[in-house]
């Protein structure tokens, strides 16, 4: 992600709003890195879908498709991992 990305203060507030009573600084930095990485992946996938559709401009539908595709891939990975570990 270009620029400053996500504010550490905002991430700390987000964690507290989500129910964390105390927030470790290492957790804030870790979540910041993860959010930026996920955002970059989502942006890149959105660009791929827009390009495939013959457009230079990314639309909301590209972002939603990228998000859905990532969710499906993550779900398949979790299922495959569970199967791998449950069968000797």
pLDDT, one tens digit per residue, over 35-73 is 999 899 999 999 999 999 999 999 999 999 998 887 777
- What mean pLDDT, rounded, does the chain reach? 86
Q: What is the model's pLDDT at position 71?
A: 75
Is 14 part of any domain?
Answer: yes
Alpha-carbon span 88 to 8, nearest angstrom: 44
Of 12, 35, 14, the C-alpha closest to 23 is: 12
Residue 38 resides in a domain: yes
> Would you say residue 3 lies in a domain?
no
Q: Alpha-carbon dihedral of residues 17, 78, 30, 21, nearest 10 degrees?
A: 30
Residue-number span of the structural domain to which 24 is assigned: 8-86
Total of domains in the chain: 1
Q: Does the global pTM surpass 0.85?
A: no
């Amino acid at each position: 992600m270009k620029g400053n990305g996500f504010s550490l203060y905002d991430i700390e507030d987000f964690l507290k709003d989500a129910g964390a009573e105390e927030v470790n600084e290492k957790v804030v930095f870790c979540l910041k890195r993860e959010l930026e990485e996920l955002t970059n992946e989502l942006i890149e996938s959105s660009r791929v879908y827009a390009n495939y559709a013959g457009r230079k401009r990314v639309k909301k539908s590209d972002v939603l498709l990228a998000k859905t595709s990532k969710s499906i891939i993550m779900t398949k990975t979790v299922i495959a991992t569970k199967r791998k570990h449950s069968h000797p």
